[in-house]
Amino acid sequence: MSKNFLKKEGLTISNRRSIYIKLLIIFLLVLIISFIFILYSNKFIIDNSKDVYYSNIELNNKINNLKKEIEKKNNYIKKLEKNNKEMSSIFSKYTEAVKFKVATSEEIKNELFKKDEEILELNREINYYKFLVNAKNRNNLISIENFDIEIFNEDSFLNYSFLLLSNKNNVKIKGIIEFYYDGKIKNRNKLIKRKKIKTSSRNISFKNFLKISGKLKIPKDHGIDALYLDVKCNGKIYNYKHIFK
């Protein structure tokens, strides 16, 4: 072989070796870079996984705590509902008891009122028979007793009540009642004589005795000095005069 050929062959081998070495170095560099990349990627993934893991643990703890709080609230709500039912039951029983007491009280009050009315009626009968026994003038058909009157609202209204007694036992008496008054007109000092007062009910019908009460309306500008009651029965007038002091 010639020297030139050997020289070229050596250069070729040297070039190939250099190429191989370069490739090897590049490969090693790539390998090292890949390893480093993989290493840091794995570390990042591991770190990220740790963060996710701890976040999940914290989230689970929060969820568990919330579940416990919800359970406590539910238990408290159940307790309140139970107490509410108990209170409603007590309130219902109390209400029923109060209603019963009120009803009983009203019943007792009504019974007492009936008894009072019965006693009053008996007293009236007793007084009536006493009146018959002690009557001085038996020629009169009736007698006017227990006349009472009250003034309200600055002389505008008069509340009256009186008792009619019959001199004839168990005889039905019919008639009418009328009211009159004497007084004056306040602003003019004008005198009023025997002015008739309108009444809602004038007719009467009774046996033995009758309790009559009502209300009379008087003009506000009229002052009253005397009130007259006329009871007309069997063509005769029985009257009563009340003087205001």
Nearest Cα to Cα of residue 212 among 244, 240, 183: 240
90-112 burial by CB neighbour count: b if 16+ within 10 A, else e? eeeeeeeeeeeeeeeeeeeeeee
Provide mean pLDDT across the span 136-164: 79
CA 237 and chain centroid, separation: 56
Nearest to 107 by CA among 95, 99, 118: 99
What's the pLDDT at 126? 64
By DSSP bridging, strand 236-243 and strand 142-152 are unpaired
Count of CB atoms situated within 10 Å of the CB of 183: 20
CB 233 within 8 A of CB 142: yes
Mean pLDDT lowest among 42-56, 109-123, 125-139, 184-198: 125-139
| Cα(104)–Cα(111) distance, integer angstroms | 10
What are the pLDDT digits (tens) for 60-106?
Answer: 788 788 788 878 877 887 887 787 777 777 767 767 766 766 666 67
Q: What is the pTM of this model?
A: 0.47
- DSSP conformational letter for 91: H
227, amino acid identity: L
pLDDT of residue 77: 79
Whole-angstrom distance, CA of residue 92 vs CA of residue 99: 10
pLDDT for the residue numbered 177: 94
Q: What is the pLDDT of residues 178-229, one digit of tens each?
A: 999 999 988 887 899 999 998 877 899 988 888 899 989 888 888 889 999 9
**Tokens 């009130």 — which residue?**
227
Q: Which of 204, 197, 195 is nearest to 163 (CA)?
A: 204
- Spatial contact of 175 and 231, defined as CB atoms under 8 Å apart: yes
CA 238 from centre of chain:
55
CA pair distance 179, 147, nearest whole angstrom:
13
- The larger pLDDT score, comparing residue 110 to residue 25, is at 25
Average pLDDT score over the chain: 78
**How sure is the predictor about 129, in pLDDT bands with cuts at 50, 70 and 90?**
low
Give the separation between CA 231 and CA 209, rounded to whole angstroms.
14
Model pLDDT, residue 93: 72
Q: What is the pLDDT of residue 100?
A: 66
- To which residue do tokens 């039912």 refer? 85
Question: 197: burial class by Cβ within 10 Å (0-12, 13-18, 19+)?
Answer: middle
Q: What is the pLDDT of residue 134?
A: 58
Which of 36-40, 129-133, 147-151, 183-187 shows the lowest mean pLDDT across its residues? Answer: 129-133
Which has more pLDDT, 135 or 174? 174
Q: Higher-confidence residue: 197 or 128?
A: 197
- Is it the case that residue 159 has pLDDT exceeding 80? yes
Cβ atoms < 10 Å from Cβ of 56: 10
What integer pLDDT is reported at residue 176 of this predicted model? 94
Rounded Cα distance between 34 and 30, Å, is 6
| Identity of the highest mean pLDDT range in 23-27, 65-69, 144-148, 228-232 | 228-232
